[in-house]
Amino acid sequence: MRKIIVVGSGIVGLSCALFFALEGERVRVITRNPEEATSWVAGGMLAPFSEGLEGDLFDFSYKSLQEYPSFVELLMDVSKQRVDFWQEGMYRVVLKGEEDLLNKAEKYKSLGYKVNKIEAGDWLSEDVFALVEYKQEAWVDVETLMDALLFAMERLGVEIIVDEVVDIQIQGQEVKALRGLKEEYKGDFYLFALGAWSAELFDIPVYPIKGQGLKLKGVSLPKVHYSSVSYLIPRERYLYVGATSEDVGFLSGNTLEGIKRLSEGAICVVPSLAKAQVVSMLYGYRPATPDEKPIFDVGTNYMVATGHYRNGILHAPITARIALDYLRGLRSPYLDAFSSRRFLGS
Ligand SMILES: Cc1cc2nc3c(=O)[nH]c(=O)nc-3n(C[C@H](O)[C@H](O)[C@H](O)COP(=O)(O)OP(=O)(O)OC[C@H]3O[C@@H](n4cnc5c(N)ncnc54)[C@H](O)[C@@H]3O)c2cc1C
């Protein structure tokens, strides 16, 4: 049994910890603050088509989407908790003037993916031209997912330590120890999943892009409506409205301007939302990179898994599998494709 240290308790850190612990390893998770993880406030859309992804990022994201049902099933089995997960397809809203989105949809369709064009219905505003249904897309209530991950940690005997790692002692390609504010940590393997804060400990171009969102009640929708002005995501007890995209560093809190943008964006798609009641507000920091692709860096006894930007929830299963493979001595091709070496010299 190896001693593994995971730093970060967002979806990436906890999913990797889950896979390591199920492999029979002794896992400890160190986290500065379990509640600050952006993963708790994400929309939970698993949407490589609606996001318009292409190339290796699309392939990576689509593979992770395919792995989601078994990931959720495994998690529910281990945690004995329910995870709210909808595999019902999503609507990409095409506003007037955005008709070129239909060409994109045609392109996905010609590649064999399941795509339907639907006429705009009477619950939508006059600004909506049409809906594209991406039938393979899904969404998950991240609060239930993150809760289940924490329950799974407890059931598998994974210790969660609240501490801030302030220094990493690396010799060549090998991590020797971590210095926390409270104590020093040593393990046989280290997984760093620090989200938007990754550049505090590693020389990599990861920076925060803040997102604000709202929770509403009083209006229900059958499916996610993903538009260029808002995402409307139905959950069991409320409707999630996301999200702003702001390059403001780690500036905290919700702003009136953010709430205005979210409200206008929501009403612009579904006018009846004007009467919906605001339940709460939220914000978090997407871990962005210059090319919007993740970063996987490895040494002999460690991996850095970060930079998942707008799709970290979607990417959790494939990321955890790549990390587990690496621990077992297998090297995914994505470790080369998504190494931070791609930024050298740029
Ligand atoms: C409003 C909003 C909506 C989003 N919607 C979606 C969506 O619909 N679908 C999707 O796929 N993605 C979405 N995302 C993106 C997604 O939330 C992120 O990509 C994902 O949560 C990143 O997960 P992570 O585990 O890498 O980081 P985080 O969840 O941020 O976790 C990082 C962890 O590292 C810890 N940490 C950092 N530094 C240290 C340190 N020095 N020592 C110890 N611990 C440390 C933090 O305390 C935290 O626990 C959204 C993001 C936002 C903000």
* C-alpha 176 – ligand 1 centre gap (Å): 26
Residues 111 and 145 in one domain: no
Residues 153 and 75 in one domain: yes
Q: Closest Cα to residue 282, out of 267, 262, 265?
A: 262
Contact 305, 64 (CB under 8 A): no
The pLDDT score that the predictor gives to residue 219 is 86
* C-alpha 191 – ligand 1 centre gap (Å): 15
The answer, yes or no, to whether residue 231 has pLDDT greater than 70, is yes
**Model-wide pTM > 0.85:** yes
Q: Which atom of ligand 1 is nearest to the CA of 194?
A: 34
Q: Closest Cα to residue 30, out of 171, 157, 135, 180?
A: 180
State how far the Cα of 135 lies from the Cα of 60, in Å rounded to an integer.
18
Q: Encode pLDDT of 279-312 as tens digits.
A: 999 999 999 999 999 999 999 999 999 999 999 9
Q: Closest Cα to residue 125, out of 170, 95, 147?
A: 95
Query: 136 falls in which pLDDT band (50, 70, 90)?
Result: very high
Residues 191 and 60 in one domain: yes
Residues 113 and 251 in one domain: yes
**Domain-terminating residue out of 269, 288, 307:** 288
Question: Measuring from atom 3 of ligand 1, which residue has the nearest CA?
Answer: 42
**Number of domains into which the chain is organized:** 2
* C-alpha 39 – ligand 1 centre gap (Å): 4
Question: Measuring from atom 18 of ligand 1, which residue has the nearest CA?
Answer: 312
The residue to which tokens 């898994």 are assigned: 305
Q: What is the CATH number of the domain that holds 194?
A: 3.50.50.60
Per DSSP, the three-state class of 251 is: coil
Position 247: which residue type? D
How distant, in Å, are the alpha carbons of 49, 90, 131, 138, 156 from that of 232?
16, 10, 14, 13, 35
The pLDDT score that the predictor gives to residue 120 is 87
* C-alpha 38 – ligand 1 centre gap (Å): 4
Residues 15 and 158 in one domain: yes
Residue 67: alpha-carbon gap to chain centroid: 14
The answer, yes or no, to whether residue 204 has pLDDT greater than 90, is yes
Residues 314 and 196 in one domain: yes
* C-alpha 337 – ligand 1 centre gap (Å): 22
Question: Measuring from atom 10 of ligand 1, which residue has the nearest CA?
Answer: 311
Residues 130 and 114 in one domain: yes
The answer, yes or no, to whether residue 267 has pLDDT greater than 70, is yes
Query: 346 falls in which pLDDT band (50, 70, 90)?
Result: low
The rounded mean pLDDT for the chain is: 97
* C-alpha 192 – ligand 1 centre gap (Å): 12
Report percent pLDDT > 70 for the chain. 99
Residues 319 and 252 in one domain: no
Question: Measuring from atom 2 of ligand 1, which residue has the nearest CA?
Answer: 42
* C-alpha 122 – ligand 1 centre gap (Å): 36
Q: What is the DSSP letter of 18?
A: H
Residues 41 and 68 in one domain: yes
Quickly list DSSP for 115-177: EEEEE--TTS-TTEEEEEEETT-EEE-HHHHHHHHHHHHHHTT-EEEE--EEEEEEETTEEEE
* C-alpha 126 – ligand 1 centre gap (Å): 36
* C-alpha 13 – ligand 1 centre gap (Å): 9
Where do the H-state alpha helices sit in 43-88?
Answer: 55-79
The answer, yes or no, to whether residue 220 has pLDDT greater than 90, is no
Q: Which atom of ligand 1 is nearest to the CA of 308?
A: 19
* C-alpha 202 – ligand 1 centre gap (Å): 16
Q: What is the CATH number of the domain that holds 233?
A: 3.30.9.10
Pocket test for ligand 1, best of 210, 286, 289 (most atoms within 8 A of CB): 286
Pocket test for ligand 1, best of 207, 310, 311, 319 (most atoms within 8 A of CB): 310
Q: Which atom of ligand 1 is nearest to the CA of 11?
A: 25
Residues 220 and 270 in one domain: yes
Q: Average pLDDT of 96-125? A: 95
Q: Average pLDDT of 144-156? A: 98
Residues 77 and 126 in one domain: no
The answer, yes or no, to whether residue 133 has pLDDT greater than 90, is yes
The pLDDT score that the predictor gives to residue 232 is 98
Residues 69 and 211 in one domain: no
Question: Measuring from atom 31 of ligand 1, which residue has the nearest CA?
Answer: 10
Residue 72, domain extent = 3-83+141-205+290-343
- Tell me which residues have their CB closer than 6 angstroms to ligand 1: 7-13, 30-34, 36-39, 41-45, 164-165, 193-197, 200-201, 211, 213, 242-243, 284, 286-287, 306, 308-314
